Structures are given as C-alpha cells and as structure tokens.
Amino acid sequence: MKRFRTIFPLIVFVAATLATTTALNLAVATEQGGSQRAIPQFGPPNGSLVIVGGAMRDAAIRQRFIELAGGPDAPIVVIPTAGGGSEYDDWNSGLQGWKRAGVTDITAVHTTDRAIADSDEFVEPIKRARGVWFNGGRQWRLADSYLNTKTHQELWKLLERGGVIGGSSAGATIQGEYLARGDTSGNTIMMGDHTEGLGFLKGTAIDQHVLMRNRQFDLTEIIEQQPELLGIGIDEDTAIVVQGDSFTVIGQGYVLIHDANSWLQGGGAGEDGPGGEGGSFYFMAPGDQFNMVTREATRPGRGSQQSIGRVKKKGR
C-alpha cells in the first residue's frame, strides 16, 4: 500500500502530461488543417490587389487603394517603369495624383537595370511600404526590369504582411500570371515574346481598356490556346479589388470574364452555347462579385448575392 501511494502521483502526472500533449497536438493539427483549407488558390494569401483597366478618374478607386494600404499616412511606392522613361521625378512619375488624394508618404522607384532591381538598396523603400502602385505603359518593361528579382520578392513580402499592390493599364496586366499583350513589337499581339507576368493573381490573363479600344474579343485567343486560364478584361475607369479567391468590381465601367468552362445563353432562336446564339464571355458591373474557385459571378440582389443571368456552366 505504501508503494502504491508512492507510485500513484507519478501515474497521475504521466496521464495528465499525455492528455495535455494529445490535446495540443489535436489543436495544432486542427489549426494547420484549417489554415491549409483557407489558403487561396488564386489571389494572395494575405493583402489585396487593386487592378484598374486604365484611365483612372473615379476618385473612389484611388481611395480604396489608400484605405487598403492603411490610410493617407501609410508609406506608398509608385513604380513608373512601364512608361519607358529613363528617369522620373515627382511630376512625371504620377506622384502628384496621389498627393492630391491626401497621401503624405510616397516615393517613386525606377530602374531598367535588373542588377539594380536585384539589390538591397533599391528594394529598401518597398520593405517599409504598405502599398505599391504600377503606372501604365508597356507591361513587358516591368517584366524585363523586375521579374524574379529581389524587387519581385519584396512585392510578395509586402502582400504577406497585409499590404496592397495596385496598378492601371500595363500595371494591371503585369499582375496576372500570363502576360497578355506582352510583345515588344506592339500592343496588338496578345501572345508575344513576353508571356510571364508577376503572378500576383494566379491562373489569369488580364487585359485593359477593353471596351474603349474595342478589345472585348481579344482575350479569346489566349483562352482558346490555354483554357485553364481565366481571362479578365477590365474597361477604363474600372477596377477589380482582389482579396483571397474573390474579387469585387468597382468604378464606372464593366469587367469581361472569358472562361472556357462557361458560356452565355443566347436570347434568340437557334442553338445556345459556344458557336451558337450565346457568347464566350460575359459582363460584370460595379458591385458584382466573382469567386475564382467556383468561377461563379454574382450580383447584389434582395438581401443576398444572386447569380448573373444567362451565364451557364458547360455540362449543366
């Protein structure tokens, strides 16, 4: 009996330790499993993207970017490299528009030298930034300068710490995985000598100025050859705000969705579907939302989001 009294506390201690360890392991496993399920497949795991179709005039788009960066006093970096200039100052780098919008801490960084873009000194402003904005021009210039450099790495780190990356026109297209209109000989070639974007929005090809420049059919070429991609055409003064695997349309125009797995049901006589009365793309308006996992677009309805009419999935 005396021996039992000596061993019993040890048994209780071991049992309690095992129970605590098991509970902790289950908690960690549950948390890790939940985290894995929550990791976005297309958008950045943290942070946001603001992707504008060019000619940004709607002040609400600019203000949304500032808000996502943390407010007007948050440090913001502008990258004007797509414009093709050798040097940029406060006037020709686009900083003034942000200052007029109330931004107090803004810097422009620019280089066409990949060695400089790959240096610690060059990326220092990005390390402290809460938002980075790409101006318009030609998107291949951004790829030539920054793709797979320390600059590119620091942009990903900015998103990881909850920041925002935005851009207009060329600054929109560069954010996709496939680089549409990336040919150095001209901007009418959809699949050219530069095909890799910075990839912040995976599985996408992004076009801009689509309606103003009658480009509404142009992404069809890319999607026909690479049907796994989602084609996103954004009109001028219009943007998508990406968070995780969904985006919302804001601004004054429309967004066109080119999806090889969907078709637009026709309204006239004849066979619906691709090649029939329907079409290969459809429109989203401001306020509409898109789920990139299910590839479903919804529109605000009475108390909830409702599917956009006439959009059908293949096989249904």
pLDDT at 21 over 50: no
pLDDT at 316: 63
Q: How confident is the model at residue 80 (pLDDT cuts 50, 70, 90)?
A: very high
Section 268-272 average pLDDT: 44
- pLDDT band, very low/low/confident/very high, at 38 (cuts 50, 70, 90): low
Closest CA to 229 of 180, 298, 165: 180
Say if residue 93's pLDDT is above 80.
Answer: yes
At 267, the pLDDT band (50, 70, 90 cuts) reads low
265: confidence class by pLDDT, cuts 50, 70, 90: confident
pTM of the model: 0.86
Cα-trace Rg, the chain = 24
**pLDDT higher than 90, residue 76:** yes
- Determine the pLDDT at residue 266: 72
Q: Is the pLDDT assigned to residue 124 strictly greater than 50?
A: yes
Average pLDDT over residues 177-190: 98
The domains of the chain are located at 1-36, 43-313
- 43-313 CATH pick, 3.40.50.2300, 3.30.70.2970, 3.40.50.880, 1.25.40.850: 3.40.50.880
Q: Which two tokens stand for residue 36?
A: 């894995």
Q: List pLDDT tens digits, range 223-239.
A: 999 999 999 999 999 99
CB atoms within 10 A of CB 160: 12
Lowest average pLDDT, out of 176-180, 234-238, 241-245, 261-265, goes to: 261-265
